């Protein structure tokens, strides 16, 4: 079973700052089968990134994903007020699927 570890647990930023979120896997992820989701309070998660770097419909290009092997990163070039949320990474390399513990991006 692949374990995903996200860091930091909480990221405190001011609007306009850059956000860098990490997702580290316990073993190498093949074919970059990593997805990222954004979740706001009381809402279901929303697909943000798939295939490690492909942005889902509806998200602006300030969001980007990168990485390979065991280390993956979600970046927000300039955080906007609507970006404050929890971000989850997920692998879909093999069964069982798993998610990281999440990173909360909060207003500083």
Partner 1 sequence: QVQLVQSGGGMVQPGTSLRLSCAASGFTFRNFPMHWVRQAPGKGLEWVAVIWSDGSDQKYADSVKGRFTISRDNSKNTLHLQMNSLRDGDTAVYYCARAMMTGWYFDLWGRGTLVTVSS
Scanning 31-70, the segments in alpha helix (DSSP H) are: none
Number of residues near partner 1 (by CB under 8 A): 22
Distance of CA 97 to the CA centre of its chain: 15
Choose one: 10-18, 48-56, 63-71, 76-84; the region binding partner 1 (CB under 8 A). 48-56
Nearer to partner 1, 13 or 56 (CB): 56
Among 47, 59, 62, 64, which residue interacts with partner 1 (rule: CB under 8 A)? Answer: 47
d(CA 66, CA 74): 7
Residue 107 has φ and ψ, to the nearest 5°, of -75, 130
Q: How far is the CB of 28 from partner 1 (least distance, A)?
A: 17
d(CA 106, CA 3): 25
Choose one: 10-18, 66-74, 75-83, 90-98; the region binding partner 1 (CB under 8 A). 90-98
Choose one: 11-19, 46-54, 59-67, 72-80; the region binding partner 1 (CB under 8 A). 46-54
Which residues share a beta bridge with 66? 73
Is the Cα dihedral 61, 28, 92, 37 positive or negative? negative
Q: Give the footprint of partner 1 on this chain (CB under 8 A).
A: 33, 35, 37, 43-47, 50-51, 56, 88, 90, 92, 95-102
């Amino acid at each position: 079973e692949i374990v995903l570890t996200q860091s930091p647990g909480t990221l405190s930023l001011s609007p306009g700052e850059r956000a860098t979120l990490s997702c580290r896997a316990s073993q190498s992820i093949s074919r970059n089968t990593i997805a990222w989701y954004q979740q706001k309070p009381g809402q279901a998660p929303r697909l943000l990134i798939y295939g490690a770097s492909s942005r889902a419909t509806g998200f602006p290009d300030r969001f980007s994903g990168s990485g390979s092997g065991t280390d993956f990163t979600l970046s927000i070039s300039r955080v906007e007020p609507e970006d404050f949320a929890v971000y989850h990474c997920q692998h879909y390399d093999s069964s069982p699927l798993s998610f990281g513990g999440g990173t909360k991006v909060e207003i500083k």
